Every structure is written in C-alpha cells, then in structure tokens.
Structure 1
Amino acid sequence: MLKRRRIGRLLLIVLVLALIAALLIGFLIYQSLKPPPPPPGPGTGPATTTQPENRPQAQPADCPDVLTLVIPGTWESSAKDDPYNPTANPKSLMLKVSSQLENEFPTARTEVYTVPYKAQFRNPTNLADRQATYNDSRAQGTRRANAKLQKTHEHCPLTRYVLMGFSQGAVIAGDIAGDIGNGRGPIPAADQDLVLGVGLIADGRRQPGGQHDVPPSPPGVGAEVALGGFGSLVPGIEMSGARSGGFGDLTDRTYSICAPGDLICDSPTVTNPLNAISQLANAANNPVHAMYATTRYWKSDSGQSATQWMYAWSSKLIEGAPHPSHE
C-alpha cells in the first residue's frame, strides 16, 4: 500500500513537471514567433491613426504646427527659468537638442518649450543639503508640463506634440506619456494620435522592452523600478516602481536611451534602500550619467551621441508633421 502511494506521488510529480515544461516550451515558441517591433531610429513616426470626426479643420493663427516639450534633468533648470530662452544651466544636456531645433525650424513650425521647474534632488543622507526634495521637484515639473500641454491643446486642437526629457526630466516626460497613452493625461485619449513621439534619455523608471530601446541597451532597470518595493521608505523620495500600464497606446512612439552602467536607468535589484538612495543621489552626477552628449559611454549604431540621436529623431518628426490650416 505504501509503495503504491509513493508511485502515485511520483507520477503526480512527473505530470506536474511535464505540464510546466509544456507551458515553458509554448511560451518560448510564442516569443520566438511573434513579430518584432519596428526598428528604432531617427525618422520613425507614429502609427497610422484615424482623425476624430469632431476635430476642426483649422486652428488659430498663433498656433504652432508642433509643440516640442523639453524637460531638463536634475540641476539643469529652475522654477523661474525662461521656457523660451532657458539660462538656468547653460550646460544643460537638453539644450544641445532644443537649441538646434530652434535654429532649424521657425516658431510657426515648432514651438520649443523648455519646462521651468526646481530640478533638484535632496540627498537624505546629508543633513546640510537644503535642496527641494525629489518628490517636490518632480511634482512641480509634472504640474507645469501638464498645464502647458493642456492649455496648448485647448487653444490649438490641431497641434502635434514631441515630448523629450533627460534624467529627472525623462521620468516626468515618461510619466506624462504613460498617462496620455493610458487615457488619463492632459491630452484626451481621442487625440493620442497628435503625439508624434516621446524621447527619453536616462529614464529612472525604465523597463527594458517596455518601449523602443535604442541600442546599445543594457539589461538593468530604472532606479525607481529597482527600489519600487521600498516605496516611500525615505521621506521626500517616492520610488514609484514601474509605470501602471506602461506607455499604453504611445508605446510604439516612445524611445529610450540608456548607457550601460548608468545607475539611474541601468540599476540592479537592491536589498539595502538607504545605501542605494545615497548612491542614486550621487549617481545623477556620475561620469556615465553626465556624458550623454559624447560617445564615450553610449553611441548609436551609426556613431551618434544620445543628444545627436535625439536631435535627428525629433527633427525628422517635426519635418514630417502635417501642416494644419490656420484661421
């Protein structure tokens, strides 16, 4: 009797293992057969969508064809900066992209708007640090970016959008893109087709495969994803984890650049949040994170730096955007 029970258990274990093996094989087959996403690169535009029937045929004369919304990284902006002539940090990484777009296109073709916000990150392990907390800085940047998008969309119903950001700015731009793509953002779900593209450099909520990862792309995740399980353990620094719903309907138009070894976007899973927070607060100024305007740590297959790639990509989108009629 005991021998029969043992044989029965052994058979049950074998069946369970066989079932698991079958499921794994089926998953691998599915992964190998499913079509890959379109290859990333400058000039890749949004998927074809149908224009809503209630959209007007023309918009006011002062509306640009495209609004290019730029969100600088930590320590590269200020709350009082001029969005059309940002001078808070002349060495801001995003200026290398936005200034070229301004030189290439007239304001009627694209309005280049650099979101002014605190752009700070208080180090919780340094009691003498009097900067704004990451939560406050990020919240202000998000509010101001959303307000600009909503105001523009209400006044200019045919204007298209290009969103881009670096570091903390990439988190903000990515969060807004995720909200729009999931139908909860400043641009209504019915008008998602107006978003031409989203470009992120060193996104702190990056998930490999969750968007077009511009190669070379490392296997790590964004710092906020790596620390997401610890939530708000450290006051003022909310580690939000992965974006709910990812980028939704904007996934096909979102591109992410991350240099291997940049802890902001290429982090391993951590077990000690206090040590990790301290490292990440300093990582915003580490050699890898600060060198995206060069090809030392990241360069595209064609030899471009991250800023060169972003400029070429956004320029193609703006150049190919529709020319709406004006009243």
Structure 2
Amino acid sequence: MSLWSPKGQPRPARDPRTIDVLVVGGTWNPGGDGVTGAFTEALNKSMFATRMVPYPADYGSSVSYVESVAEGKRALLAAIDRSPNPVVLAGYSQGAAVAGDLAAEIGRGEHPGREVIACALIADPRRPAGKYLGDIDPGGYGVVGERPIPGIPAYWSAAPGDPITALPAGNPLRTIADLSAFFSFAGANAAITWAQQMLNTATRKQLQRWWSPANWRHWAGAIAYARGYLFDGRHTEDYVRYGYARALAQALNRDVAEGRI
C-alpha cells in the first residue's frame, strides 16, 4: 500500500514499529561527526531508524549562516514529507537551529499534516534558558537568542561552558553572532547584502543587548568562553567525553518505550 505526503508524492508503506529520526549535522559537517554519531549510536535500533538530512551546513564560505539554515529547513521539511513513519527531528549546533526552528513552526501549526512527535537538540544556538537534560543547569541560553518549541516534546543537550548554547546574557560574543549571521564570502553582492542586513538589524533594534548595565557581571567572560569554544572542546568533544549526546538518545529511548511520546 502507498501513502501520500502533503506534497502529493507517494510514500512507502508505514512500519508501525519504527520512528524515523531525521538528523541535521553541524556547521561544515552535514554528513555528521563524532557528536551526532554518539547520539545516533545510542538510539534503540528496534524503535528508531536514523537518517542524516543533507544541507549546506555553511557559515559564510559560500552562503551565509542565515541562508544555510533556511535551506536546511526546506530540506528537512522535504525529508519529513518522504518519511512514512512518525518523525523525531534532531540536530547538532547549526543543525539544531534548523531542526528546532522547523519544530517550532510545526508546533505552531504552520506546516499542517506533518507528524513530528519530538525534537532532540544538541548545542542549540537558540536554546531557551532553563531547558536542559540532567541535574546541572549549564546556564545562559543560545548565542543567537531563545526560541521556545510549543506543542512538541523538546529535549535539549547543553554542555556547561559551550558558548553556542549556554552563553550568559551579558557576554559580548553575542554581537559576533548577530553581525556574522548574514556574512558570506560568495562575492561582492553577498558583501552588500550583509551590510544591508546589518543596517536593518541595527535600525530595528534587533541586536542582543549584552551591553545592558544589568549584565555587567558577565562582561569579563568573553575570553573564557571563546577559549572554551576554540581550544577546550566545550562545543565538540565535551558532548562525547561527558556523555551529553548519549544521554539525549537515552532520554528518547526511555520516553518512547514508556509511552510518554
């Protein structure tokens, strides 16, 4: 028997025992890496079938971060339409921005007809404050702001000290994220677009106000968080060596097995 997607394309027959986990990789690693590998390896193979979703995964070398995320959302939505089974959206770093943004849109009813039962995000650059697995609050929130996910069970894995997902409100690194999101080396037109978008962001007062006097206690932390990102593996190795990625998979295993999602 064939099923039909919202786009009118035929799907394979549904396997009632299987949940498809659509995984979006991090920047420059659309096919996955050690972090996404640790997550997928820990999923229960009798319940979940995993698939990487290709997208640019770029940050300015050919397309901007914003364009890469937008293309990732289009690719992920198409992958949902091709899946015959219930879907979990998962992602790491930039891929978590893709998966989380799309999950939030689906949760708000913007893409009817898609059966997404959960969202699992590692190092989400838009993680809301207070959303994390385990007993230790990593602090802060995503480097590009906070994005709630309504209507869909959402799981966040965040390593303490990771500036991409656990950055204090007053850390100056937030301005780097704001100003680089539209940047691309693709050519002169890309540079003009970047400048125009930066002007729009500033004039609309959309820059994160890390410099607010209320955040003065966090101003001195930029160097420590930058070092953690560049040299200490806070955004990469920590998710494997301290088991954060594996714990995310185990939470899904448990909650599906117990019928919570």
Q: Settle same-fold status: TM greater than 0.5.
A: yes
Measure the CA separation in 1 of the matches of 2:20 and 2:142. 27
Kindly indicate whether residue 184 of structure 2 is the aligned counterpart of residue 261 of structure 1: no
CA distance 1:283–1:136, shift in 2 (3 Å)? farther
* Counterpart in the other structure of 1:298: none
Deviations for 1:255-312, whole angstroms, at most 9, x for unmatched residues? 11222221111223356835975789997655211121112xxxxxxxxx11220221
Q: TM-score normalized by structure 2?
A: 0.65
Kindly indicate whether residue 127 of structure 2 is the aligned counterpart of residue 206 of structure 1: yes
In structure 2, which of residues 78, 83, 87 is the aligned counterpart of residue 147 of structure 1?
Answer: 78
* Counterpart in the other structure of 1:98: 40
| Structure 1: runs of 5+ lacking an equivalent | 1-58, 78-87, 123-129, 189-193, 226-241, 296-304, 323-327
| Paired residue type of 2:247 | W
Matches within 5 A, 1:118-157: 118-122=56-60, 130-152=61-83, 156=84
Partner secondary structure for residue 240 of structure 2: coil
Q: 1:62, CA displacement in angstroms?
A: 5.3
| Paired residue type of 1:262 | D
In structure 2, which of residues 76, 94, 103 is the aligned counterpart of residue 177 of structure 1?
Answer: 103
Matches within 5 A, 1:1-327: 61=13, 63=15, 65-77=18-30, 88=31, 91-101=33-43, 104-105=44-45, 109-122=47-60, 130-152=61-83, 156=84, 159-185=85-111, 187-188=113-114, 194-209=115-130, 211=131, 213-225=133-145, 242-243=146-147, 246-250=148-152, 253-267=153-167, 268-269=169-170, 273-274=175-176, 285-286=230-231, 287-291=233-237, 292-295=239-242, 305-319=243-257
Q: Which has the larger radius of gyration?
A: 1
Measure the CA separation in 2 of the matches of 1:265 and 1:171. 10
Q: Is the 8 A contact 1:270 1:276 kept in 2?
A: no
Between the two proteins, the alignment pairs up a number of residues equal to 202
Q: 1:134, CA displacement in angstroms?
A: 0.8
CA distance 1:184–1:276, shift in 2 (3 Å)? closer
Moved more, 170-179 or 216-225: 216-225
Measure the CA separation in 1 of the matches of 2:155 and 2:111. 19
Partner secondary structure for residue 248 of structure 1: coil
Q: Is the 8 A contact 2:23 2:53 kept in 1?
A: yes
| Structure 2: runs of 5+ lacking an equivalent | 1-10, 181-221
| Paired residue type of 1:173 | A
Partner secondary structure for residue 49 of structure 2: strand
Deviations for 1:99-137, whole angstroms, at most 9, x for unmatched residues? 443xx525xx53311111121212xxxxxxx34321222
| Paired residue type of 1:136 | E
CA distance 1:182–1:100, shift in 2 (3 Å)? same
Q: Is the 8 A contact 1:264 1:283 kept in 2?
A: no
Q: TM-score normalized by structure 1?
A: 0.53
Q: CA RMSD in A?
A: 3.2
CA distance 1:215–1:115, shift in 2 (3 Å)? farther
Q: Share of identical aligned residues, percent?
A: 28
